[in-house]
Amino acid sequence: MDFYIHLPKLPKEDETVIGYEFKMRPGGKGANQAVAAARLGAKVFFVGRVGNDFIGPMLLENLRSNNVDVSYVTVDQSTHTGVAFILLNSRGENMIAVAPGTDSRVSTEDVDRASQAIRASQALLLQLEIPIETVAYAARRAWESGAVVVLNPAPAKPLPEEVYRYVHVMTPNRVELAMLAEGKQSQSQSTGLSDVVKMAHALVDRGVKSVVVTLGRGGALAVTQNSAVHIPAFEVSPVVDTTGAGDVFTAALAVALAEGRGIDEACLFANAAAAIKITRFGAQSAPTRVEVERLVASARVDVRKLE
């Protein structure tokens, strides 16, 4: 669950800023992605855990109302449901702190319970708000079943080398890319495209088939062994809330790939979905397929090959 405080500006270290609004909205990277994929028309199974508290039932009902199958969600008695506190300024920029709770207890046993759904799926979408060991196990199981494995490596953390060989598409932002490629704790969001391509190739060399780097207002960069293509962002206004934009992008990318689209076309589709999302409040305010297809058809975007 996301707890929002709206502020005139984001606080600095040791600074208290008085806000003007509070809201509570369903969140969590996995759930954000599941809802976004379902709204785009995919049949979605969610694998995870919630706590036995007042938040868990609210989140499950939200998933059900968005046509996400929750048959593989466990109610965990041992700790609280995952929560995030989001500070949001008037420009839609944010700072986020997360207390994982049951997220940190999603296990390989949970993956095994969902094995039938994984075998029946065209794609498995993963993120790093659950244990790395579970991510690695799920990626291998889905890869063995022939599904497209899409990993959003956020929040940024090092990955076991074995994970790379089981991932078809990885979707880091610049900060996450630098962490994975160079082991750096931070990286400027203004890093040039040539440097981004170089770091992306380092992940491809480890076994990832495609690395799609999200660039915010700069769109996305799709890098494979033999090519690098820049797909610009769609221009939209006003920007209301960027929270969850990366989740919507990755979900839309996974849906497009599961439908058999090529990586460049899938990135265009994903850019459009993320663009619509940032004009709306809430991490799960993802667009419908009709809205995304309408934006793709109405706006001209010049895809550019870099190599």
Angle among Cα 184, 186, 192 to the nearest 5 degrees reads 95
What are the C-alpha distances in Å from 247 to residues 109, 123, 173, 306? 25, 15, 11, 26
Is 53 an active-site residue? no
How far is 128 from 170, CA to CA, in rounded Å? Answer: 12
How far is 203 from 176, CA to CA, in rounded Å? Answer: 12
Q: Which of 14, 110, 247, 264 is catalytic?
A: 247
What are the C-alpha distances in Å from 20 to residues 1, 8, 24, 95, 183? 20, 8, 14, 16, 39
How far is 276 from 285, CA to CA, in rounded Å? Answer: 9
- Return the percent helix, strand and coil in the chain, to nearest 5: 40, 20, 40
237, with CB counted inside 10 A (0-12, 13-18, 19+), is: exposed
How far is 39 from 275, CA to CA, in rounded Å? Answer: 15
* Crossing angle of helices 29-39 and 55-65, rounded to 10°: 20
How far is 196 from 176, CA to CA, in rounded Å? Answer: 11
What are the backbone dihedrals phi and psi of residue 108, each rounded to the nearest 5 degrees, phi first?
-65, -30
Question: Beta 148-152 vs 83-88: how paired, if at all?
Answer: unpaired
What are the C-alpha distances in Å from 27 to residues 34, 157, 291? 10, 20, 22
Catalytic residues: 247
